[in-house]
Structure 1
Amino acid sequence: MRTQVGIIGAGPAGLLLSHLLHLRGISSVVLERRSREYVEKRVRAGVLEQGTVDTLVAAGVGERLRREGLPHHGIELRYGGAGHRIAFERLVPGRAITVYGQQEVVKDLIAARLAAGGDLRFEVEDVAVHDVATDRPYLTFGGGERLDCDVIAGCDGFHGVSRPSVPEGVLTAHERDYPFAWLGVLARVKPSAEELIYAHSERGFALHSMRSPEISRFYLQVPPDTGLADWPDERVWAELAARLETVPGFTLATGEILEKGVTPMRSFVVEPMQYGRLYLAGDAAHIVPPTGAKGLNLAVADVRVLTEALARFYADGSTDLLDGYSAACLRRVWRAQHFSWWMTTLLHTFDSDDAYGRRLQLSHLDYVTSSAAAATTLAENYVGLPFEDGPAPV
């Protein structure tokens, strides 16, 4: 078999790349280790930046997003017994975020690729990367099948095969682990607030979010070694109430818990994001703590850059954009890394004995919620900085 771009991974990065390339007349094959059912039901991020929404709409996969997504024009920072709204409509006019689950984005992209005759292969075992240092890279999979291509895109996540395929010593990894994790809860209950609530307290951080008008999403800061058995439903609701019911008039609605999971908190960046004809995108190249809601959005940003670079390459043979892929992506990646680290350190409880650190946090929260300049910095990073390349690349 032969295609122009071999793509490993059918998450948002791989699927969107395949679709954007299709719109440019560039062929691709997507290889995914998991089943279609698994990737369409895997609950992940649900906050889409303005630029991500614009990209999906321009690519023709935003109809359901526009119909079912929940636009938000602000978030609340809750601490010290009061709530403080960061008003996007005032601080960054014309820009917002949309709550729409990552699994819904994946469903939309799979449907679009299949409708266009795209080659998506699920439950593919033993994918291996070969000869990316040459101009004839190829992939093997399934116990003997071979896919020849011009370029390979590694969109297979942090634990995928793409990044480990690069020879040792070529890539430099930057990492930071945080001394806590997030317990994520999906519940069949109407959201108790119209916008996301980021709550800071001495008991730890909590986040009130949502996935639809009937489904809510919650997160609790927990120790990194937490097991799900430690958190029966009654304890989850009691702790969420203790951390969220801290302002007058707010009552947390409860309901059936559909899903629980523990997510470790880490920051990770690998440089460069390319080697030969192999280009890493999304979680294969970088991980952010979810506090800043940047993971999926960074994957979309990577794919936009790679799409433009490949379109130039196939149009006139130029490799200048491909050569500069990593540098172009990393400018945004490091900005998002800093913002995610900043939000994490601002809102979470660290050493319980560190009274000095707690007072610094409260002082910083007071500054963010009372200074237009500080609030604008939060708002413009949260809704997503404009893309350097302008409108969506379709």
Structure 2
Amino acid sequence: MDVDTIRESFDRVEEKQKQYASRSQEIIDQLIKEIELAITKLQDGNLDQSAVLAQLKAQIDEITPVAQFEGCQKELNLAIAKYTKLLEKTFHSDNSKAYRDVEMDTATINEIIASHFYRQGQFEIGDRFSSEAQVSESDILKSPFLEMHSILQAMRQSHDLGPALAWVTKNREKLVRYGSSLELKLHELQFIEMLKAGKKGDALKYARAHLSPWANEHQAEIQKVFACLLWENRLDQSPYGDLSSPSQWKELESELVRQFCGLMGQSHESPLAVTVAAGAEGLPTLLKLASVMQAKKQEWQEMKQLPVPLDLPKEYQFHSVFVCPVLREQGSEENPPMLMPCGHVLSRQSILKLSKNSTRSFKCPYCPQEGTVAQCRQLYF
């Protein structure tokens, strides 16, 4: 069940509710109109009050407000009931069925959790957790993230690029080795901020000192930055308005986090957050698998690999996966991909079956060339 189906069901409930509200208001308005008309007639002393009230009762009976309200309410209740059943069918309240008891290193898990808190800038929580969980390397984990967040705080609160520039200067050789242009981007943003503050002379001096050395490798970019001098008081109206956009700060913050974590040998995203998010994506498939296997009285948790594909978005795919085109099975340590002499790739089990357990040469299923098991080489992804 996908999100679109749930959204469509919710939209139907919302539409029914709007129709119910609209129809109810029409009925109420109609009743008010008849009552006001009856009051006007009663205020006229020439009309028989009993006849007026009898006529009002007849008009209300003809409108049948209770029956109409009940009809609209019934349609709305039916739509809500279907939506509720869909939610119950889609979202399982008992997620423990997807739990797999895997032995893990508790100390490593605690380090990952502590690192997550420090990475998010939640240093008090990280310190408390590290103390209670007895994380031995808490200071080693905390120190670099403390520096990173102090740099980010200066950028966010006061648009101060000083700490960031000091950090890139200190790590210039490493950043250049990684092909980073973060230092140039920081100098460009500093130059733009000077122009926006009306300090054209200071901006020109700054550009000559800090941007000119980059001119040979980034000529077009440097020329674009220098051209901003012609639009000193109206940068937002210039062809280079994107350079003065507030989004530049957000992009530069993200780039700094990426480079900072890269030099630490860590991913720019929290491994714990990515793991939880990927688990949430795969949870419906795992729950469905658990239900099917339970109905067949089979235990899926003892399998070395899942019998069904677990399709995750590209942001959660970090390495290549090989699926044998013959057996349609995913590669594993026991059944790795093997490169045949012709260049095609099959799993080891496929090759063993084709060669009758290495007793004879075999023909490739995808081309006329023949080979032997000894000629095949294992591939490492």
Q: TM-score, normalised by structure 1?
A: 0.21
Q: TM-score, normalised by structure 2?
A: 0.22
Computing the radius of gyration from Cα coordinates, the structure with the larger value is 2
Greater percentage in helix: 2
Q: Of the two structures, which has the highest relative contact order with CA contacts closer than 8 Å and spacing of 6 or more? A: 1
Greater percentage in strand: 1
